[in-house]
Amino acid sequence: MRLRLVFLAGLVVLVAGCAGTSAGPGGDRAPVMTVSDFYGFCSALPTPDACLSDPICNRYRRELSSPPNDLAGCLAVCRQTENALYVDNLVNGCAEILDRAEDLCDQFCRRRDRS
């Protein structure tokens, strides 16, 4: 009996956690990400090893302030920016921040392309 109650409570929590996660009026697409959104998601407090996200995030923000209109061109800008920052940030302990910035850059491009 007790096990059933725990199972039922867990099921209720699981179902309640899924409430409100519908796609919204525009269908199944995420909302467009602005450059300001990108920077807000990218920026982070310094890590214990003193990695500062601002130099990486600001570089991406500059590149994304006037991205190409097509998806392939925008994604190419993301790759070029990552390649330009890769070596320096690999050795200074900021590889995680760079990976996150690259992922967010991809999201920025894909969320603004409505084709």
pTM (two decimals) = 0.71
Q: 12 in a domain, yes or no?
A: no
Q: 84 in a domain, yes or no?
A: yes
Domain range for 45: 30-112
Contact 51, 88 (CB under 8 A): no
Contacts of 47 (CB under 8 A, 6+ apart): 93, 96, 97
Report the alpha-carbon distance of residue 20 to residue 2 in Å, rounded: 30
> Distance between terminal CA atoms of the chain?
53
Q: 4 in a domain, yes or no?
A: no
Q: What DSSP designation does 70 have?
A: S
Q: 88 in a domain, yes or no?
A: yes
Q: 13 in a domain, yes or no?
A: no
Domain count, the chain: 1
Q: 105 in a domain, yes or no?
A: yes
Residue-wise pLDDT tens for the chain (115 aa)?
Answer: 554 544 444 444 454 444 444 444 556 778 989 999 999 999 887 767 678 889 999 999 999 999 898 999 999 999 999 999 998 888 888 888 999 999 999 999 999 866 6
Q: 16 in a domain, yes or no?
A: no
Q: 45 in a domain, yes or no?
A: yes
The runs of H, that is alpha helices, within 2-70 are: 2-18, 35-42, 54-64
Report the alpha-carbon distance of residue 25 to residue 16 in Å, rounded: 21
Contact 112, 32 (CB under 8 A): yes
